[in-house]
Amino acid sequence: MGKYVIRRLLQMIPVILGSTFLVYAMVYALPGDPVQGRCGERPCPPSYVAAFNKEYNLDKPLIVQYLLYLGKLLHGDLGTTFYGNSVAHELIIRYPTTAKLATLAILFEIVIGISAGVLAGIRKGGFADNLVLVSTLVLIATPVFVIGTVLQLVFGIKVPIFPVTATNGTLYELILPALVLGSISVAYVARLTRTNLAENLRADYVRTAKAKGLRPRRTVAVHTLRNSLIPVITYIGADFGALMGGAIVTERIFNINGVGGFLYRSIRQQDGSAVVGAVVVLIIVFLFFNLFVDILYGVLDPRISND
């Protein structure tokens, strides 16, 4: 297992370098002038533009800019926004809200998704199975902003159970946004659980367990479900890494002061330094969560770590 972890860590190095360079290059290749509008309605003086470009290394070639940024990144410096604020500080004060939102969304995936998948798997072809298949298909086909707007209208205005916005980031305020954020993943988890469970119920070891006289509930809970959840756990772990990266659309709909909202505002303000710093952190968080999932998968199936 130790060699497996070391190999995965070494594989992450070129991924981080390549992905951060692509993000850096694409952000600074976007059209628009970051100095525009910083001096009001009048154009900024040439001396101010020159000083601004020098401060953020915008007067240097792209590869030089990236190497200078990479040097700061290796020392834990994510840079400063175009308004003089530390990117690291901006992310630190917002990540707890995003972490709570992602955790609630994952809980919905686990409870609702796995329960629906198990119900559909053990009753394949029945009413429950068809209901789960149709409802999950509707969720997958519906954009997140539509789901968020509808739930916001129904449970926030028509039947005011939850707040319309989650400005303070409390757990109660984040229940509805978390349900929106995890809705599509709930559908995928339910379908994945249902498919694997239905397939394993036809396996030889299940028939052997039934022949030995084990009760159906014990056969499903102890033997079948245990093997069926391995790919589901992998999906949930990877999805948690993606959700921890921030949900731009969901946080925008519910006015959540999280990482996604910060990234959205930075893009609108053409604050390249803030966008690059935030996206770099999202990449690193996602990669480390994927590493955790790979390790967990290796524990569940030792054949993987021995490859």
Least confident of 61-70, 71-80, 103-112, 220-229: 220-229
Tally of residues, the chain:
307
- To 5 degrees, how large is the angle CA 270–CA 275–CA 281? 175
**CA separation, residue 268 to residues 95, 234, 244, 281 (Å):** 20, 34, 22, 19
Return the structure tokens found at 174: 């984040």
Q: What is the pLDDT of residue 295?
A: 74
Domains of the chain, earliest start first: 2-74 (no CATH), 90-305 (1.10.3720.10)
Whole-angstrom distance, CA of residue 243 vs CA of residue 245: 5
Q: Which amino acid is at 33?
A: D
What would the pLDDT profile of 34-52 be if each residue is shown by its tens digit? 776 667 667 778 887 788 7
Q: Which tokens belong to 150?
A: 């509808």
Question: Around 13, how many Cα atoms within 13 Å sit in the side-chain half-sphere?
Answer: 5
Answer positive or negative: Cα dihedral of 64, 76, 167, 143: positive
Q: What is the pLDDT of residues 131-179, one digit of tens each?
A: 999 999 999 999 888 999 999 999 988 988 999 888 887 889 999 999 9
Q: Are 98 and 244 in contact (CB under 8 A)?
A: yes
pLDDT the model gives residue 44 = 77
C-alpha distances in Å from residue 282, one per residue of 221, 235, 288:
36, 18, 10
pTM: predicted TM-score of the whole model, two decimal places: 0.80
Q: What's the pLDDT at 284?
A: 82
Q: What is the pLDDT, as a whole number, of residue 262?
A: 86
Separation of first and last alpha carbons in the chain: 10
> In this model, does residue 1 exceed pLDDT 70?
no
- Rounded Cα distance between 112 and 190, Å, is 8
Q: Which residues pair with 80 in a beta bridge?
A: 86
